[in-house]
């Protein structure tokens, strides 16, 4: 599973610089477990617990700042589906809460590289709004494969009081197997 993430910087009154034109997204991994609790044929709740690495790279002239943020995320998504013969297209939406479990940053200038520990500057809990769509394919009697895309829109800032409002934004491309129990 792949997660492409970046930090969206919002200028505030006492720090009016727009950093977004210098930010690049990073591609990282995500892995987790999920279940699908059906209410009926068309509606279900899809809770999941995942490890997600988010991050960004920002370059300004010769100076590059890279940051990776590791989260354990819980997301209970409402899923609306249209079951067909052997395939089920669906859309889903809902919140997620992420608990920061690790972080790393580096600052690079020409041939010099400095490793940083940003953990004291970071919020430990992150809230996101999620929307996605996917397809589930029956590949055996009690085995389904899924492919989906999810957009995660961070609604809580990730840094503590540094003068810039910043939020995680990410696109996840996920694939996996689901087994009927």
Assigned token pair, 43: 């509606």
Q: What is the mean pLDDT of residues 151-172?
A: 84
pTM, two decimals, is: 0.83
Secondary structure letter of residue 159 according to DSSP: B
pLDDT band, residue 59 (cuts 50/70/90): confident
Q: Rounded to whole angstroms, how far apart are CA atoms 87 and 27?
A: 29
Domain boundaries of the chain, sorted by first residue: 2-179
Between residues 171 and 8, which one has the greater pLDDT? 171
The CATH number of 2-179 is: 2.40.160
Task: Answer whether 95's CB lies under 8 Å from 156's CB.
Answer: no
pLDDT at 123 over 60: yes
Share of the chain above pLDDT 70, in %: 86
pLDDT band, residue 12 (cuts 50/70/90): very low
């Amino acid at each position: 599973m792949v997660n492409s993430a970046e930090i969206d910087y919002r200028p505030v009154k006492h720090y009016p610089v727009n950093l977004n034109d210098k930010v690049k997204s990073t591609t990282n991994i995500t892995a987790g477990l999920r279940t699908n609790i059906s209410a009926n044929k068309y509606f279900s709740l899809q809770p999941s617990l995942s490890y997600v690495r988010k991050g960004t790279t920002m370059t300004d002239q010769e100076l590059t700042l890279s940051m990776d943020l590791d989260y354990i995320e819980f997301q209970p998504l409402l899923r609306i589906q249209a079951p067909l013969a052997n395939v089920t297209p669906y859309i889903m939406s809902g919140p997620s809460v992420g608990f920061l479990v690790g972080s790393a940053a580096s600052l690079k200038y020409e041939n010099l590289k400095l490793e940083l520990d940003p953990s004291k500057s970071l919020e430990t809990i992150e809230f996101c709004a999620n929307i996605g769509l996917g397809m589930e394919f029956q590949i055996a009697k009690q085995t389904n494969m899924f492919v989906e895309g999810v957009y995660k829109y961070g609604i809580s800032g990730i840094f503590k009081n540094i003068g810039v409002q910043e939020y995680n934004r990410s696109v996840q491309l996920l694939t996996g197997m689901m087994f009927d129990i």
